[in-house]
Amino acid sequence: MTQAEAVIDIINSKTEKALEIATSHIKGALKKRIESIRSALFDILVETEAAIDFLDDAGESINSDRIIKILKRRVVDKLKELIEKYENAHVLRDGLKMVVVGRPNVGKSSLMNRLIQEDRAIVTPIPGTTRDLIEETLNIHGIPVIIADTAGLHETDDPVEVIGIEKAQEYIRDSDLILFMVDACDPLTEEDYSIYKAIRNKQLILVINKSDLVEDDFEPAVPGAWRKIPRIKISALYGTGLNELKDLIVNLSVGEYGLEAKNTIIPNLRHKIALERSLQLCVAAIEEIKKETSFEFVAIDIREAMDSLGEIIGDTAKEDVVDQIFSLFCVGK
């Protein structure tokens, strides 16, 4: 199943790194990792089943400490590693959903045009020019990025602007990273504070635009809560600071972790959900062993953990899951 999904990933890959990950999966790298974990679970299941069926002979010979050690080292740690890989580096394959947010006329559209190297968004001195959501895809240091320029967030009675702002708020909720843009020339306004309040729980970069109009050592007066936000000074008009901004985007998205050549086994969201379910069951099994719970309950958890991993590679996947995956293929063309 992972190899079949990799075919779609190869077709949809937008960067060399995404293609490298898909190629690794189509060769069976993820499948082998999952099979190794299932094999460890199977060995434990054999012992627990023997203890159930032949309690007098096998029950007393089972070393609970050894089983717990195997579960932790060969299963739990490996599951956590795969889940961590998804969390840290899935954007290399799936793309980073990034949105530029700020009040009107701070330079959001200028920044987007600079990043995609195309006059995609209309730029004028008139506040409120952008009324609809504009989305483009670009490659930043090997990461596919879906960037959106939004309508400036502010109070308005204009019905068209209201719709644009509602679209922006919806996009913000689904985004992975927000570029929160403010104007270096103007003191922070109530609109800036209101925007921060709406986005403060997301991953942010404070982008201080129009730095060409202030001194080099200029530092904006920001509230204490904002000082923890990674920030950078740029000039969207002249393009200064953009390389540093791109580096910061990459570091916040994957750090050095995902860009290493060896990190080509990266689960997708479907895999991650199954991995988390399997991890939860294995942790429960460990607790049951510690409490000397009946082996029947331990065996149930181990078996269900194996089934969850089997869904990833297709061994125990239900028909509707298989249908959903293969619905992505355009058969006949």
What's residue 328's pLDDT? Answer: 64
Query: Picking from 236-245, 251-260, 308-317, which range would have the lowest pLDDT averaged per residue?
Result: 251-260
> So what's the pLDDT on residue 141?
84
- Domains of the chain in sequence order: 2-90+266-326 (1.20.120.430), 92-253 (3.40.50.300)
Burial level of 97, CB count in 10 A (0-12/13-18/19+)? middle
Provide the pLDDT confidence category of residue 263 given band limits of 50, 70 and 90: low
User: Which helix (H) or strand (E) element contains residue 138?
Assistant: strand 134-140
C-alpha torsion 29→31→33→37, nearest 10? -170
Encode burial over 226-250: b for 16+ CB neighbours within 10 A, e otherwise: beeeebbbbbbbeeebbeebbebbb
Question: What's the sign of the alpha-carbon dihedral 255, 199, 227, 112?
Answer: positive
Mean pLDDT confidence for 146-166: 65
What is the pLDDT averaged over residues 150-159? Answer: 58
Roughly what angle, to the nearest 10 degrees, separates helices 159-174 and 190-199?
A: 40
Taking residue 320's Cβ as centre, other Cβ atoms within 10 Å add up to: 8
- pLDDT tens profile 45-98: 988 887 777 665 545 557 888 999 999 999 999 999 999 888 887 888 788 889
> Model confidence at 132, in pLDDT bands (50, 70, 90)?
low
Distances (CA, A) of 7 to 11, 66, 248, 270: 6, 40, 31, 16
Above 60 in pLDDT, residue 184? yes
**Which residue has tokens 């923890």?**
228
Q: What is the mean pLDDT of residues 291-320?
A: 87
68 CB-near residues (< 8 Å, 6+ apart): 286, 289, 290
**pLDDT the model gives residue 150:** 73
Token pair of 173, please? 């909720």
Q: Residue 136 has what pLDDT?
A: 85
- At residue 126, the pLDDT reads 43
Q: What is the mean pLDDT of residues 102-120?
A: 82
Cα 267 versus chain centre, distance: 11
pLDDT band at 17 (very low <50, low <70, confident <90, very high): confident
Task: Give this prediction's pTM.
Answer: 0.72
**Confidence (pLDDT) at 181:** 92
Helix (H, G, I), strand (E, B) or coil at 122: coil
Over the stretch 200-223, which tens digit does the pLDDT of each residue have? 899 999 999 999 988 888 887 888
Quick one: average pLDDT of 306-312? 94
Q: How far apart are CA 184 and CA 196, in angstroms?
A: 16
Kindly tell me if the per-residue pLDDT of 123 is higher than 50. no
- Residue 32 near residue 290 (C-beta atoms within 8 A): no
